[in-house]
A and B are shown apart, each in its own frame.
Chain A
Amino acid sequence: MTDRIEQAVTPETTNSTFAFELRDVTKSYDSFKLGPISFALPSGYVMGFIGPNGAGKTTTLKAMINVIHHGGQVMIGGVDNQIASMEEIGVVMDTPIYVGEWTINQLRGILKPFYAHWDDTVFTARLRGFGLDLDKRVKDLSRGMGVKLQIAVALSHHAKLLILDEPTSGLDPIAREEVGDLLRQFVGDERHSVLFSTHITSDLERVADYITFILAGRIAFSGATSDLLEKYVRVAGDPSALTSDQKRLIVGYSSHPAGFDGLVEAGNRNLLPAAVLAEKPSLDDIVIYLNKGAHHE
């Protein structure tokens, strides 16, 4: 999938091949300010939306689907989100936003009239595939089952863009892998795209073609996952080998009895002594060090 990645994800002109584009989106609360943020996802890919708790992930997703008022502009499939059809978007929250007492069968009857392209056959087939019983009440579903139910709903109205808010939080590794597999299957159709917010970055290395990293309401990175992983090098070694200028190059620098560790931009690796150990970071490393670096600034 990664070799299909061809476009930069910072939108400069309106491009209907983008599954979505955010342009200078802002939102202010008393204690938190989001943005202005801009990023986009070409159709046919999975984007992981990462950042620590409280960084603005959910606020961004809510702005995208117009659940909150916001500044700037959001385009969904080339159409402003104020007028974009919600039929094209499937929203998956960590817990279903359905009445707990409804059975899945009742839910089907309740949701169906709202979607012009609702497909009962797809819904039933997905439920069977997920092992979900039509007579089961929403409140009796496990978290993983709740996520699967919402995905089944989204697939049944033929959503082209799936927006998932922390769908894997609280899931065991097997259930998380299942969700990842589902998303990969979904983008098998090039018209389909996924934006997937999570703070469990290990879920994304396997699934996400693109990563957008948000930190304190600002975009720290948005681009191909491989670019992010190649952008930084994790370094560790003896702090006495570093000059103060070299220390300043290290993002999220921390020293401890065994030495120091941190992150350095790959281009700056050669500016550090050869004795400093360098290795490819994981997404987790990048999130942790960049977050630490932001707090130290």
Chain B
Amino acid sequence: MNKVLVFARLDFSTIRVYLTVRTVLVFAAIAVVFGVTLGSTASQLGIFAAFGLIFSAYPFAISDKINLDMLYVTLGLSRRTVVRGRYVFGELIILAGLLIGYLAGTVVEVIRNKQIDPMGLVGLLLVFVLSSLIQACQFPIQFKAGYAKAQLWTWLPLAVVGIPVVALPPLVGGERLAGMMTDVGAWMAGNLGLVIAALILIWGGVVLGSYALSVRFYLRRDF
């Protein structure tokens, strides 16, 4: 098997002991409660995206504790392979989280006797891109400084996303903002192909840039 994929599997083995069925069920329960209460599938996706983001950082945290980076060297893995494998692992864990979230959302829709909205898949893509972009901001810092030292900085991207959500309604006005969002949503729905192409381009560019930075930082590290 390709070494990058073998490494991604090693990352999964590293976090598997913390990724118990109980943990997944707790997240699923929270997601279902949020979904039913708020009547929104996006909240479920958001919770599972956060779940993916948290777990994608675990290998860094465990590595800080027992110097797994040294293990990778003794296994004959090049530093580029480690970075590539970690990105593959990171994207997969977010995707897996979102798929579980999407399934949980579908269950909620069925419980609420609502028709399943095919646009939910576009929402899934949007949340995936957003989560992946946050992760792309976090990984280079974690590769440079390790988990503990990077912790404050890695949550900054999340704050950058969160601040407009909190600050815009009072600034712009709730109704006006809702109107704007509806307009943006309608425009996006009308230009779906363009939106998806733009998203993929932005996502690809940022992830590639992030990968290049991570390689640069990780190559310089001593363990």
| Chain A residues within 8 Å of B, Cβ to Cβ | 62, 65-69, 85-87, 89, 91, 93, 97-102, 106, 110-111, 113-115
Q: Give the residue of A66, A67, A114 whose beta carbon is less than 8 angstroms from that of B75.
A: A114
* A98–B73 CB distance below 8 A: no
Given contacts A91-B74, A106-B13, A110-B13, 14 further A-B contacts (CB under 8 A): A65-B73, A65-B74, A67-B70, A67-B223, A97-B66, A97-B67, A98-B71, A99-B13, A99-B14, A99-B62, A99-B66, A100-B66, A102-B13, A102-B17
Q: Which residues of B contact A (CB under 8 A)?
A: 1, 3, 6, 9-10, 13-14, 17, 62, 66-71, 73-77, 220, 222-223
Q: Specify the main secondary structure of chain A where it touches its partner.
A: loop
Q: In the complex, A114→B70 CA distance in Å?
A: 14
- With the chains together, A247 CA to B76 CA distance in Å? 52
The 10 closest A-B pairs by CB, nearest first: A86-B76, A101-B17, A68-B222, A114-B75, A97-B71, A91-B74, A67-B223, A113-B6, A110-B13, A67-B73
11 chain-A/chain-B pairs, Cβ below 8 angstroms? A62-B222, A62-B223, A67-B73, A69-B222, A91-B70, A97-B68, A102-B17, A106-B13, A111-B75, A114-B6, A115-B75
Contacts of B220 in A (CB 8 A): 69
Closest to A99 in B: B14
The distance from the CB of B149 to the nearest CB of chain A, in whole angstroms, is 17
Bound Cα distance A65, B222 (Å): 11
The answer for the CA separation of A110 and B16 in the assembled complex, in Å, is: 12
Chain B residues with CB below 8 A from A100, complex form: 66
Inter-chain CA distance A100–B18, complex, in Å, is 12
- For residue B173, give the distance in angstroms from its CB to the closest CB of chain A: 51
